[in-house]
Chain A
C-alpha cells in the first residue's frame, strides 16, 4: 500500500496519470475514496499527475490523538508534497479540504500554484457567513440521528457527532445502519474512532487562518460553491477579498457536488485546472 511518513504520521496515498501535479484534499469524516468513486481521478489523470491521500485520522491513514487543525493539515500536506517530490501543485479541496488548501497556500506559497475550493466554510470567516457551520448535510444527518433518539444540535459539532456515535447502543446502531445503507456503514464505523482524537474541535479552530490571512493569499483561487449551498456568502466574500478569485456555481448539489453532481463537478474542475495550468508559469520553467 503506498504510504508516506509525515510529521510522525503514516498517510495512505494514491497517484495516477502524468503531467502537472494536482493534489486532492478531502473533508473531515471523508476519505480519498470520494475522489475515486466519483470518477474525478480517472478524468483528471488523462492530463495531470493526480495525488489523493487520506488526511490523518481518516481512511487508511494513521489516527494520532491530536493535530487536526487546518494548520496541522497544511503541515502534513507540505511534508507529503516534499516526500513525494511533487512539483508546485494545483490543490482541489472539498469543505475542510479547501480550508487546508488555503492554509497551505498561505504557509507554503512556493508549493501551491492555485486552489480550487468545493463548498468550504472557514472558521476565520465566521463573522461574514450567516450560515456558518450549517451545511445541509448536517441537517440531514441531524434528522437521521433524531430518528433514533439522538440530538446533534443545529450547527455542525463533530465532537458531539463522534461521541454520540461512540455511545450508541446495538439497537440504535442497527437502526442507523439501515438508514445510511451499505455504503454509509463504513463511514459510520469510523466516527467512534475519531472520538478518541481532537479532530472534532480542531476542525473548527481558526488556527491562524484569520480573515486577514485568507485575504492575503495571492495564488489563484477558484470558489466552486453548490447551487443549494448555505455558504454562498463565503463565496461572495472570497470573490471580493482575494486577489485572484473566480467563483462558479455547481448546479443540483448542496454540499457534496463531487458525488451529488459528479459530471458537472468534474467538468468544472477540469476546466479550471486546464485554465490555471495554461495561464500560470509552469513549475518546471520557474526554477
Chain B
C-alpha cells in the first residue's frame, strides 16, 4: 500500500495541474475540507476524480466513496478520507 505522505504529494500535484489558477495557501492535512477550505465545487471534485484516475491509471469507485460519506452524514470531503480511499484503491 502506498504511503499516505506520498499520496498527499500526488494529490497536491494533480490538484495544481487540474486547477492551475487556484491557490490555496492554508495548511493542508487530514482535516482539510475540499469544499469549505480548498473551495472546490461539486463538479471540480468530478474533474479531480477523473484526473486522479488518469494519474494512477486505474478506474476508481468515487461514486461509491462519495455516497458512503453522504450516508455517514458528511457535508464535505476531508483530505484524510480521500487519501485513505486512494490508498485502498490504487496500485501499490
- Rounded to whole angstroms, the CA-CA distance of A217 and B70 in the bound complex is 37
The residues in B between 34 and 51 inclusive whose CB is less than 8 angstroms from any CB of A are: 35-36, 39-47, 49-51
What are the residues of chain A within 8 A of B88 when measuring CB–CB? Answer: none
Answer yes or no: B66 CB below 8 A from chain A CBs.
yes
- B75 cross-chain contacts in A, Cβ below 8 A: 181-183
- Do A189 and B43 form a contact, CB below 8 Å, given A37-B63, A42-B61, A183-B76? no
A134 to chain B, nearest CB (A): 25
Total interface residues on B, using CB and 8 Å? 26
* A residues less than 8 Å from B35 (CB atoms): 182-183, 185-186
Given that A37-B66, A182-B76, A183-B35 are contacting pairs, would A1 and B40 also be in contact in the complex, using a CB cutoff of 8 Å?
Answer: no
| Contact of A14 with B43 at beta-carbon distance under 8 Å, contacts A36-B63, A36-B66 already known | no
Q: Assess A187 versus B64: contact at CB under 8 Å? Given A32-B46, A182-B35.
A: no
B33 within 8 A of A: yes
Closest to B67 in A: A39
Identify the closest chain B residue to A181 (Cβ).
B75
CB-based contact A14/B63 at 8 Å: no
Q: Does A172 contact B (CB under 8 A)?
A: no
Please give, as numbers and ranges, the residues of chain A lying within 8 Å of B61 by CB-CB distance.
42
Q: Which residues of A contact B70 (CB under 8 A)?
A: 37-38, 259, 262
For the complex, what is the distance from the CA of A40 to the CA of B43, rounded to whole Å? 16
Specify the chain B residue showing the minimal Cβ separation from A32. Answer: B46
B8 at the binding interface (Cβ < 8 Å)? no
Residue of A nearest to B49 (CB): A36
Whether A59 and B33, one on each chain, are in contact in the complex, defined by CB atoms closer than 8 angstroms, is no
Residues of B within 8 A of A (CB): 33, 35-36, 39-47, 49-51, 59, 61-64, 66-68, 70, 75-76
